[in-house]
Every structure is written in structure tokens, then in C-alpha cells.
Amino acid sequence: MGTAIWGPRRDGDGWRAALWAPEARDVRLVTSEGRHPMTRDADGWWDAPVPGSCYRLDVDGQVMPDPASRLQDGGVDAPSIPACAVTPPAWSGRDWAEAVIYELNLGCFTPEGTLQAAASRLEGLAQLGFTAIQLMPIGQFPGDRGWGYDGVLPFALHPAYGGPQDLADFIARAHDAGLMVILDLVMNHFGPEGAWLHHAAPPFFDAARQTPWGAAIDFSRPEVRGFWTQCAMHWLRDAGFDGLRLDAVHQITGPGAQDFLTDLAREVAGLTPPRHLITEDDRNLPALREAGYDASWNDDFHHAVHCALTGEDDGYYASFAVDPVGDLALALERGHVEQGQPRPGLDHPRGADCSHLPPTGFVNAIQTHDQIGNRAQGDRLITLADPHGVRVAYGLLLVAPFIPMVFMGEERGETAPFQYFADYSGDLAQAIRTGRAREFAGIAASDGPGPDPMDPATFAASRLGWADDADARSWMNLTRRALAFRSALVVPLLRSGRPETRVSRDGPGLIRAEWRFPAGGLAISLAFGQPDPAPLPRPDLRVGQAGSDYLLTVKARP
């Protein structure tokens, strides 16, 4: 047989389904017409035609959906439907240097929580100056509501958000507005309920290793690498996404993992128009960016800003709480702060030299779903710090020569929390409640255990308010001005090549930075906790009031 294609595939006018189950003794395809034997090859692939409109798989007596299902007829245990993605119209894509990312959770972005409702908001984001939307994971997970990182059917669109045509319409509408659409894809683990691959193919996992979220995946096996490569190409090529953000690649480890990630970049590089790859990698290593990935999330920038504005020093903030303004200067100078050097508050050095990477190799943010939602109360930065300081940090984020990312609502000064929510029941729900309460018990800044993540009210409280008052309009005006400056003056500099960078610390809360690109220069003067005695004269952009403790002045020149 020699098949290596997971899930359903076209076979003339019909369909075939395939499953890798190398240790199974008997696998049958289950339809409304009965159980149909599947044929096994020497490599452990089982294959059969699909009679009818939907099917399940019976693996040694356990009935389950297809782990590579593209569409479910209901929840994660429902029959699988052998349906193709609806490909949106082609478009030419956008250059990575133009990227200004807007991260959102589809369930909370609008009152309706659907792709159709979200599509109606895209033009407004484009008018503010955003050029990319990044969706938190949409692969199917149990229940109706959740962050998406506990997905178990990574090829299938979560049905609460809509169907394949809704996704195609969303992407087409984004492209019409000039917006790229990036998908957050989880390849490092499966959720705790409904992950039938554990039964169907135990060798998919490495029993000797664990991630913080369960069994590690064994990337030494070509069948496993094929599963995830096909999943990525399904979303990029078949569904029309412009890029992927790969969640926690520091947990994609073990034999074969690095080869898989490198090969994936090579595969994606062959697509037209060009697609973009972003990693979340807390190791601060350059290797994947050297191998073709566009950028990595830069939590160091976030941590420096957060500690400078809040004074928090718990957990991973410890090393950034020693001198946060100094760390912010380092982040402006070289991207990552921690690049292998010893630092107070660290048990061992973290990272490696990334100074050779371009500024576009770093995705900076001052708020993300992680940094808000993994707080006990889901507090946004604006509720924890001086709003004037937050505005200046936000302005800096938008104009500095790194790739900026904004979390949904930030552009309007949103104060509603973004809390952790899920839709489990029984013992698993209680275990999650207990685990999160234990996690926050020793954190001084947690302010209690937080709301019940299973309560629908927790989900409802995390929805955007879409306020249209004077404060919201002021934030949107800042967003519009800063992104217009970025588009007109910063993006041409980024396209011209890598800069020479000079950053100085001129006082406890004063930073001067200059980036000299082949096409010109960008300069900032930042007061972050004390008045600036010498802001840039006649700046192209100013955020904050002269003489205040928080002021940003920015100039660009050809």
C-alpha cells in the first residue's frame, strides 16, 4: 500500500481514509452501514474506502473519530466527515517587514464568538494600521469554549467558531482588507480529553519523556513528522493561512525534532505566495531563525516593560526585576535580553548570542494571551500600572524596529480581564481547578486563586467590551498615529537591511536609542520613570507629556 497520508483523501469520486496504528491487531472503518475491514501494510498503515458521508474508526474494539479528521459531525468523539477545506481566493501576500500583528481569541473577540462576526471587525483593524491577524488555536477541542491549546483534532476547525466556508470567507475578507492571517498551531502536545492517538498509535509518543501538559511526542518517527507537516500544510496551502505561530517549540525535543522543524521551514518556503513562520521558544536560541523561521516571540521585552511598570518580581520576572529599565535598553539594543550571560535571579544562564539576527526576527509585545491569561485574575497591564506609563510603552512597541504584536482590545485601552476558561466536567474539571489554585498559591501578585475556569461567567467576563468612549478613541488615535508613522518611515528602513544600533542609559529611567539602517536612521528618546531633560526636538511622533515621568519622542530620517 505504502500510504503516508493521514486521514481522508480523495479517491476518484469518493474518499479513502488512512490511519497509522502499527501495534493494532484489527482496525475497521465504522459507518452507518456497518464495520468495514481496513487493509494493513508492512509499516502499520491501515487503509480503506469510505462508504457514506461520515465514519469512525474501530481500533481493537475502541471506536474513535479519525485523529486527522478535517471536519467533525459534532464534538471530538463524533463521526468524522471526509471534507476538503474551502480554499479562499488567491492573493499576493505581504512582506514580513510590514507585519503588525493583532492576536485574538475567536470566542472572546466578539459577543457572538464566531468567524462570521469577527470578519465584520477586520476592516476597522486594517484602518488602524494592523497588517496581520493571529488567531489563537482553532483546532477542535472538547466542549464549546476554551483557549484552544488543549486541542485533540488539530486538522479540524472547532465547530463553535463556524464551518469551513466561514473560515474561507474570514480569510478572504482579511485579505481584501490587506491583512495577513496567521494561525497559532500546537504541535508539542494534545489535550487531556479526546486525544485518541494515545490508543490508536502509542508509538506516536515517547513514553520516557513528559511535557508540562502530558506525554511528549516522538519526532524520531517519520509517520509523526508526516502528521504534523501535513497538518501545517493543510492550514497553509489548503485553507489559505499566511503563516503559523508554533506554540512552545522548546517542548518539541528529542531525536528528530530539530530535523522536523528545519524540514518544515523548507517545505513552507516552497509555497506561493510566501508564508511566514513564528516560534514561541523560551530558550532564546537563534537556530530556527537561522534555518528559515521569520521570528520568535520575545518575552524578554515584555518582562522588562512589565517589571518596570509594576514592580513585580515573582517567578520568571525575578531576573528582570533587578534592573528592568536596563533590561529594556538591552532589549532595544539586541532583541533578547538573556543571551547566555549570568544574571541575578537566574539559576543558570539562558539563551545564546542572537545579535546577528535582524530586528524583524523578534516579535515584541507588552501583553499577550499568556501574560494576561496566566495571571490568577487575568489582569491587563493597564489595570496594574500607571496608564501614562502603559501608553508610552505601547507607543514604543508600535514604532521600535521589531515586529509588534498587540493583544485584542489593547488598541482601545481595554480593561476587561482575559481569564483562563475551559469546558470540562467531572474529575478532569476539578483537577484543573485544583491545579490552577495550587499554581497561584505562592505568587504574591496573584491576589487569590482566581475565578472558576469552568464557569461560563469566566468566559463571558473575558469578552471584549468594544467601548466607544473618549478613552477608547484616544487609544485608537494613538494606535493610528503610531502605525502610520511605522508604515511610512520605519518599514522602508527595515526593508533596506540590518542596522547598526546604539543604545545608551542616560539616567535611571532614561534610554536613548538609534538604529542606523542603509536607508536612513531611527532615533528614540524614552523617559520611563523620570522626566526627560532632553527629548528629541521636533519629533515625528510624541507619546506623553513633556516634563512627565513617561515620555517617548521619535524621529526618522532618510
- CATH number for 73: 2.60.40.10
Q: Is residue 457's pLDDT more than 80?
A: yes
The one catalytic residue among 66, 166, 193, 247: 247
Q: Is residue 1's pLDDT more than 60?
A: no
User: What is the arithmetic mean of pLDDT over 215-224?
Assistant: 96
d(CA 54, CA 359): 48
Q: Is residue 14's pLDDT more than 90?
A: yes
pLDDT tens digits, 472-504? 999 999 999 999 999 999 999 999 999 999 999
540 has catalytic annotation: no
pLDDT attached to residue 252:
96
Q: Is residue 232's pLDDT more than 70?
A: yes
Residue 35 lies in a domain: yes
Residue 395 lies in a domain: no
Q: Is residue 465's pLDDT more than 60?
A: yes
Q: Quick one: 504 and 445 in the same domain? A: no
Q: Quick one: 446 and 515 in the same domain? A: no
Residue 16 lies in a domain: yes
Residue 386 lies in a domain: no
Residue 370 known to bind ligand: yes
Last residue of a domain, one of 51, 84, 117: 84
Across all residues in the chain, what is the average pLDDT?
A: 96
pLDDT attached to residue 250:
97
1-10: b (≥16 Cβ within 10 Å) or e: eebebbbbbe
Grid cell at residue 293 = 523561521
d(CA 301, CA 298): 6
Q: Quick one: 73 and 2 in the same domain? A: yes
Last residue of a domain, one of 84, 103, 121: 84
pLDDT attached to residue 2:
44
Residue 301 known to bind ligand: yes
Predicted confidence band of residue 242 (pLDDT cuts 50, 70, 90): very high
pLDDT attached to residue 108:
98
The one catalytic residue among 47, 280, 327, 411: 280
Last residue of a domain, one of 53, 84, 115: 84
Report the DSSP pairing between strands 500-507 and 403-407: unpaired
User: Which domain covers residue 431, as residue numbers?
Assistant: 421-450
Residue 487 lies in a domain: no
Residue 212 lies in a domain: no
User: What is the arithmetic mean of pLDDT over 393-410?
Assistant: 98
d(CA 186, CA 155): 11
Q: Is residue 316's pLDDT more than 70?
A: yes
Q: Quick one: 2 and 80 in the same domain? A: yes
pLDDT tens digits, 248-268? 999 999 999 999 999 999 999
Please state, for a pLDDT cut of 70, what percent of the chain lies above it. 98
C-alpha pair distances (Å), 150 with each of 128, 190, 194, 263, 361: 32, 6, 10, 25, 28
pLDDT attached to residue 444:
53
Task: Report DSSP state, residue 79.
Answer: P
User: What is the arithmetic mean of pLDDT over 326-349?
Assistant: 96
C-alpha pair distances (Å), 529 with each of 272, 410, 553: 47, 22, 15
Task: Report DSSP state, residue 11.
Answer: E
Q: Is residue 367's pLDDT more than 80?
A: yes
Residue 374 known to bind ligand: yes
pLDDT tens digits, 157-200? 999 999 999 999 999 999 999 999 999 999 999 999 999 999 99
What CATH number has the domain bearing residue 523? 2.60.40
Q: Say how many domains are in the chain.
A: 3
Residue 281 known to bind ligand: no
pLDDT attached to residue 443:
60
Determine the distance from the C-alpha atom of residue 200 to the mean position of all C-alpha atoms in its chain, rounded to a whole number: 29
Residue 6 lies in a domain: yes
Residue 201 lies in a domain: no
pLDDT tens digits, 36-95? 999 999 999 999 999 989 999 999 999 999 999 999 999 999 999 998 778 788 899 999
Residue 189 known to bind ligand: no
Q: Quick one: 77 and 1 in the same domain? A: yes
150 has catalytic annotation: no
Q: Is residue 140's pLDDT more than 90?
A: yes
More reliable by pLDDT, 442 or 211: 211
pLDDT attached to residue 84:
76
Q: Is residue 240's pLDDT more than 90?
A: yes
Ramachandran bin of 74, using left for φ above 0, alpha for ψ from -120 to 50, beta for the remaining angles? left
Q: Is residue 449's pLDDT more than 80?
A: no
